[in-house]
């Protein structure tokens, strides 16, 4: 790619964004609703911690938005993943399949359970786990024995699979559920990035046994820091609530804890922010989809790159827009990053693939050629619901 090609791409990106000095950030939150009012209510009433009506209201709103039967608000998305894995029966020494192309929290949560992340490859049409490739790989390393999937190389049970909906784009979940069912693997969705994204009309995070959402400051809706566990199972929902509130038996005054629980409940202050944000979620999704349409117009005829767009069966929240170089070329990608950032556009590469990170270098993995190809092609574009220069 020539210097002129790169300059042309950045000019096309720039044409969509606000003009003037300052930087356009990759993603920033928008507080245009009832945030101040709800936060003030917490302070005025003294309900700031992990009890209070906003926590319950936030959970009810999450059930409404996603259609999940149970939603448990927790301190962050990583904690939601950890507890979901634990409730799915992931134990010390087990293996859990996660995509190599993900944010580090997906793999970290597996290690918090004492288990080993086992990396699988992506599908270039969804950026998420590729079901057919996973199936082929399992045929080469695993067998089902007494209802449990065993990695015959390591001897360890492979207990679960954690598909992640990358940048808000739904994984092609149905074939993946079928593969996981055949291999006796529990599916836990990492839906941290996909609030507002649908697979065939149904909300992401409602297909797995459990799912994790995140409300970190950079996600489509934020509570400052926060997360949630979704599940259709009343039993798992109750256990999730119990485990994230120090496993305290309900009683008027006595402190009896029947297992080692966590202090992972979302504080009321954060939930208040979350309620105000969820009231605006449809608007955020609409704004992001409109921004994607503008990027698609501006970049459609630009040689060498393609904007990543949703599949016909998907409705993406377009949390982060991704531009893909036609060819994997890390040097060209880095020159594009340099040029865009020099012009005040916070353009970023995808995450370093998990198997390249020091803590996970020795973890088992399948062929990761598609994830490696994508890593050398993806740049994320400024994607805030309201774009401005700061």
| DSSP secondary structure string for all residues of 281-332 | HHHHHHHHHHHHHHHHHHHTT-TTEEE----TTEE---SSEEEEESS--HHH
Q: Residue 107 Cβ, how far from ligand PLP at the closest point, in Å?
A: 9
Using the contact rule CB under 6 A, the part of the chain among 26-34, 97-105, 112-120, 253-261 near ligand PLP is 97-105
Which tokens in the block code for residue 215?
């409300």
Nearer to ligand PLP, 105 or 173 (CB): 105
Binding of ligand PLP at residue 190 (CB under 6 A)?
yes
Residue 320 near ligand PLP by CB under 6 A: no
Query: Nearer Cβ to ligand PLP, position 39 or 192?
Result: 192
User: Pick from 102, 231, 268, 366: which binds ligand PLP (CB under 6 A)?
Assistant: 102
| Choices 50-58, 186-194, 254-262, 285-293 (CB under 6 A): range interacting with ligand PLP | 186-194
Query: Is 81 within 8 Å of 212 (Cβ atoms)?
Result: yes
Segment lying near ligand PLP (by CB under 6 A), choices 71-79, 240-248, 276-284, 354-362: 71-79
Q: Do 357 and 365 contact (CB within 8 A), yes or no?
A: no
Distances in whole angstroms, Cα of residue 332 to Cα of each of 201, 326, 352? 37, 11, 17
* Interaction of residue 50 with ligand PLP, rule CB under 6 A: no
User: Which region among 19-27, 59-67, 102-110, 271-279 touches ligand PLP (by CB under 6 A)?
Assistant: 102-110
Nearer to ligand PLP, 84 or 214 (CB): 214
| Minimum distance, C-beta of residue 48 to ligand PLP, in the bound complex (Å) | 20
202 to 221, contacts with ligand PLP by CB under 6 A? 214, 216
Q: Which residues contact 33 (CB under 8 A, 6 or more apart)?
A: 276, 277, 279, 280
What's the Rg (C-alpha) of the chain?
A: 21
Q: Which residue shows structure tokens 């170089």? A: 325
Among 29, 77, 163, 168, the residue binding ligand PLP under the rule CB under 6 A is: 77
Does 105 sit near ligand PLP (CB under 6 A)? Answer: yes
- Distance, in Å, from the CA atom of 74 to the CA atom of 71, rounded to the nearest integer, reads 10
With respect to ligand PLP, which residue has the nearer C-beta, 157 or 227? 227
Is residue 192 part of the contact set for ligand PLP (CB under 6 A)?
Answer: yes
Tokens of 325: 């170089």
Q: Which is nearer to ligand PLP, 142 or 220 (CB)?
A: 220
Strands (E), 109-223: 116-120, 142-145, 148-151, 158-161, 186-190, 198-199, 202-203, 210-214
List Cβ<8 Å contacts ≥24 apart for 242-249.
Answer: 243/83, 243/86, 243/87, 244/72, 244/74, 244/79, 244/83, 245/50
Nearest distance from C-beta of residue 167 to ligand PLP, angstroms: 9
How do beta strands 378-381 and 186-190 pair?
unpaired
Q: Site map for ligand PLP, 123-162, x if CB under 6 A?
A: ----------------------------------------
Binding test (CB under 6 A) with ligand PLP, winner from 50, 66, 76, 151:
76
Q: Summarize as ranges the residues that interact with ligand PLP (CB under 6 A).
A: 76-78, 102-103, 105-106, 164, 190, 192-193, 214, 216, 227
């Amino acid at each position: 790619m020539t210097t002129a090609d790169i300059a042309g791409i950045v000019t096309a990106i720039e044409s969509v964004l606000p003009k003037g000095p300052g930087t356009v950030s990759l993603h920033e939150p928008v507080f245009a609703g009832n945030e101040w009012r709800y936060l003030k209510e917490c302070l005025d009433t003294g309900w700031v911690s992990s009890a209070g009506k906003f926590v319950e209201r936030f959970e009810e709103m999450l059930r409404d938005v996603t259609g999940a039967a149970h939603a448990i608000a927790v301190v962050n998305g990583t904690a939601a993943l950890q507890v979901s894995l634990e409730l799915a029966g992931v134990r010390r020494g087990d293996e859990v399949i996660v995509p190599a192309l993900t944010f580090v929290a997906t793999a970290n949560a597996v290690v918090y359970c004492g288990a080993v992340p086992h990396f699988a490859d992506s599908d270039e049409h969804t950026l998420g786990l590729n079901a057919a490739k996973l199936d082929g790989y399992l045929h080469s390393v695993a067998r089902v024995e007494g209802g449990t999937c065993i990695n015959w190389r390591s001897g360890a049970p492979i207990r679960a699979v954690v598909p992640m909906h990358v940048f808000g784009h739904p994984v092609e979940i149905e074939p993946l559920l079928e593969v996981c069912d055949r291999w006796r693997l529990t599916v836990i969705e990492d839906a941290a990035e996909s609030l507002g994204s649908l697979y065939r009309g149904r909300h992401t995070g409602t297909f797995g046994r459990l799912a994790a959402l995140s409300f970190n400051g950079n996600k489509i809706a934020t509570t400052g820091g926060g997360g949630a566990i979704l599940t259709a199972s009343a039993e798992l929902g109750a256990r999730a609530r119990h485990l994230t509130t120090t496993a305290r038996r309900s009683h008027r005054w006595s402190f009896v804890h029947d297992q080692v629980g966590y202090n992972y409940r979302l504080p009321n202050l954060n939930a208040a922010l979350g309620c105000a944000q969820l009231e605006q979620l449809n608007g955020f999704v609409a704004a992001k989809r409109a921004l994607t349409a503008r990027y698609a117009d501006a970049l459609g005829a630009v040689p060498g790159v393609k904007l990543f767009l949703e599949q016909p069966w998907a409705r993406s929240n377009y949390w982060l827009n991704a531009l893909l170089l036609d060819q994997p070329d890390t040097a060209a990608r880095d020159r594009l990053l340099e040029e865009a950032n020099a012009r005040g556009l916070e353009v970023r590469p995808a995450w370093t693939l998990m198997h390249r990170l020091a803590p996970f270098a020795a973890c088992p993995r399948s062929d990761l050629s598609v994830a490696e190809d994508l890593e050398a092609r993806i740049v994320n574009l400024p994607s805030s619901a309201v774009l401005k220069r700061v």
